[in-house]
Amino acid sequence: MTAGLGPIRNHRRSVLSAFRGGRIVRRAGHALAIVATLAAGAAITDRTPDADTQQHPFIRSATVGHAVDARTFDVTVLGVRGGAVLGGISGSHDTSGVWVLVRMKLDARTNPVSLGYAVLEDSDGRTYRATGRVDQSILGERSLEPGVPVIAEIAFEVPTALAQDMSLRLAVSPTDQRMDAVAQVRLPITAGQARQWHADKNPLTLAAISVPT
Amino acid sequence: MPRIPAIARRVPAKWYAAIVGTIGLVVSAFYGGLSPVSHSSVDKGRVDAVIKGGPWNVTVIDARILKSSKDLEVTKPGDRWLVVVATVDVTSDDSRDDLSDAIRLHDVFGLQSAAPNRLLLARDGTDVSYLNPGMPERVGFAWEQAPTAGPLPATVEVNIYGETLRHDSLSGGIVPGNLGWFDRRVIARVAAPVLDKRT
């Protein structure tokens, strides 16, 4: 009797092994799918721009004498001068570096707007805010009206050795320029000029805000 | 379902817990888990020595008692000024307007507030709004102090604070570069001599 069951057992064994083999293949497929999904996720994450890139400001550049569109206002840098001492209502202010005064024309485009952010940036990305040691009402306080351009001068204090390496950056928000336009103008300052300014002790006077005629 | 050996089933569960706990201790020991804990993590700094931190380096010079004057007027009659003079060098990549966070006084009584009431530039006496990177300045951190604080001490302890530049774990930080200065903490304590400059 046992001899007669031999082929049946062999058949069952082969079916069982085929079933087990299918299960292994299925499990391997599942594992492969998981690995492929993770790899695809990692590849997408790697290629997705980081938050810095996604939210970076839109830099609009121009040179001195040319208007640059900063979305809500236009700015044209008219000139730059410097010195070692800046005069103010409360007296003269010296500096360990050099004063850089940037003269510019500002023109709101469609709505009243205030200039909240004014820095000089060096080539290493360090930024130097417009000074708070003298009154600079063009920053934050004064509203620019569309169709009424104004000429203003903004004062900055920077290290003498880096003065020839500065770009002006202007924007509306004083704290957050993410995904907003930022006007940038490279300042034409030479190393010799910076040294000369550093040695010049004649107090500079910040020009009053005016309307161009 | 794998079959659990009979001997393993006879071992009490708390033995397993003890074994896992021991392994945990051994592993943590490799990462300093058994190292002695310092009771005071505040380093002692010295006057005229640079305390390096971020976003500023601070060098405490001295402390001074000043009387009210036209340029530095107290808000309550009879109060005096306790001014810590320090050189601040901004080490971050941007101008800082939060310098009042750099210094606090430790165990000094009669102050109007924990933060200094005024920050003055020694160069010309103007109130400090921003200090620029790479342009160290001597700054007076001025606290208005009630005369009831008692006699003048020979020294005051000045806590120097530092912060860490990192991404904001909540929002990704603010501009520039989604990095921000966080985790403000005392990095050093300096005993500054007090000079009476009221006369």
Domain residue ranges in chain A:
1-48, 57-205
Element (H, E) at A77: strand A73-88
Taking CA atoms, B44 is separated from B79, B108, B153, B154, in Å, by 30, 17, 19, 17
B155 touches chain A (CB under 8 A): no
Do A153 and A102 meet the contact criterion of CB atoms below 8 Å apart? yes
Residues of chain B neighbouring A96 (CB-CB closer than 8 A): 123, 135-137
**Inter-chain CB proximity B172 and A51 less than 8 Å:** yes
pLDDT attached to residue B40? 59
Per-residue confidence (pLDDT) for residue B176, from 0 to 100: 47
Supply A74's token pair: 């236009």
* Coil, helix or strand at residue A100: strand
For residue A88, the distance in angstroms to the closest alpha carbon of chain B comes to 11
The CA distance from A180 to A195, in Å, is: 35
Please, which pLDDT band fits residue A2 given cuts at 50, 70 and 90? very low
Q: Is B135 on the interface with A (CB under 8 A)?
A: yes
For B101, phi then psi, to 5°, come to: -80, -10
The residue ranking higher by pLDDT, B14 or A65, is A65
What is the rounded distance in angstroms from the CA atom of residue A207 to the CA atom of residue A57? Answer: 30
Confidence at residue A86, expressed as pLDDT on a 0 to 100 scale: 97
Q: Element (H or E) spanning A80, and its range?
A: strand A73-88
Compute, in degrees rounded to 10, the torsion defined by CA atoms B126, B127, B131, B136.
50
Higher pLDDT, B175 or B56: B56
pLDDT band at A14 (very low <50, low <70, confident <90, very high): low
| Topology adopted by domain A57-205 | Immunoglobulin-like (2.60.40)
All residues of chain A having their beta carbon less than 8 Å from the beta carbon of residue B126 are 90, 93, 133
Cis peptide before B176 (omega within 30 of 0): yes
Element (H, E) at A114: strand A113-114
**Which residue reads 């079933």 in tokens?**
A19
Interior/surface letters A9-30, b for 16+ CB within 10 angstroms, e for the rest: eeeeeeeeeeeeeeeeeeeeee
DSSP E strands, chain B: 43-45, 50-51, 56-66, 80-90, 103-106, 118-121, 137-145, 155-167, 179-196
Compute the distance between CA of residue B41 and CA of residue A151 in angstroms, rounded to an integer: 54
Q: Is the dihedral of CA B125, B128, B133, B138 positive or negative?
A: positive
What's the pTM? 0.79
The gap between the terminal CA atoms of chain A, to the nearest Å, is 120
Q: Per-residue pLDDT tens for A135-152? A: 999 998 789 999 999 999
SS (H, E, C) A134-197: CCCCCECCCEECECCCEEEEEEEEECHHHHHHCEEEEECCCCCCCCCEEEEEECCCCHHHHHHH
Distance CA A92, CA B116 (A): 25
Point out the residue among A57, A97, A127 whose CB comes nearest to the CB of B95.
Answer: A127
Q: How big is the A-B interface in CB pairs under 8 Å? A: 74
- pLDDT bucket at A10, cuts 50 / 70 / 90: low
pLDDT at res. B142: 97
Cα angle vertex B170, ends B168, B173, to 5°?
Answer: 35
